[in-house]
A and B are shown apart, each in its own frame.
Chain A
Amino acid sequence: KAGVTQTPRYLIKTRGQQVTLSCSPISGHRSVSWYQQTPGQGLQFLFEYFSETQRNKGNFPGRFSGRQFSNSRSEMNVSTLELGDSALYLCATSASGQLNEKLFFGSGTQLSVL
Chain B
Amino acid sequence: QKEVEQDPGPLSVPEGAIVSLNCTYSNSAFQYFMWYRQYSRKGPELLMYTYSSGNKEDGRFTAQVDKSSKYISLFIRDSQPSDSATYLCAIGSGGSYIPTFGRGTSLIVHP
Contact = CB atoms under 8 A, between A and B. Distances in A.
Interface residues of A, number: 26
Contacts, number: 58
A102 interface: yes
Given A42-B103, A100-B31, A100-B32, A105 B98 contact: no
A98 B92 CA distance: 12
B102 A102 contact: no
Nearest to B104: A42
B42 interface: yes
A102 B96 contact: no
Interface of B: 31-32, 34, 36, 41-46, 49, 51, 88, 90, 92, 94-99, 101-104
B89 to A, nearest CB: 11
Given A31-B97, A99-B92, A100-B94, 13 more contacts: A4-B43, A42-B88, A43-B101, A43-B103, A45-B98, A56-B96, A97-B97, A103-B46, A103-B99, A104-B46, A107-B41, A108-B42, A108-B43
Interface of A: 4, 6, 31, 33, 42-43, 45, 48, 55-56, 88, 90, 92, 97-108, 110
A57 to B, nearest CB: 10
A97 to B, nearest CB: 7
A100 B31 CA distance: 8
Given A42-B104, A100-B92, A106 B43 contact: yes
21 contacts: A4-B43, A31-B97, A42-B88, A42-B103, A42-B104, A43-B88, A45-B98, A48-B97, A55-B97, A56-B96, A90-B44, A92-B43, A97-B97, A99-B92, A99-B96, A100-B94, A101-B97, A103-B46, A104-B46, A108-B41, A108-B43
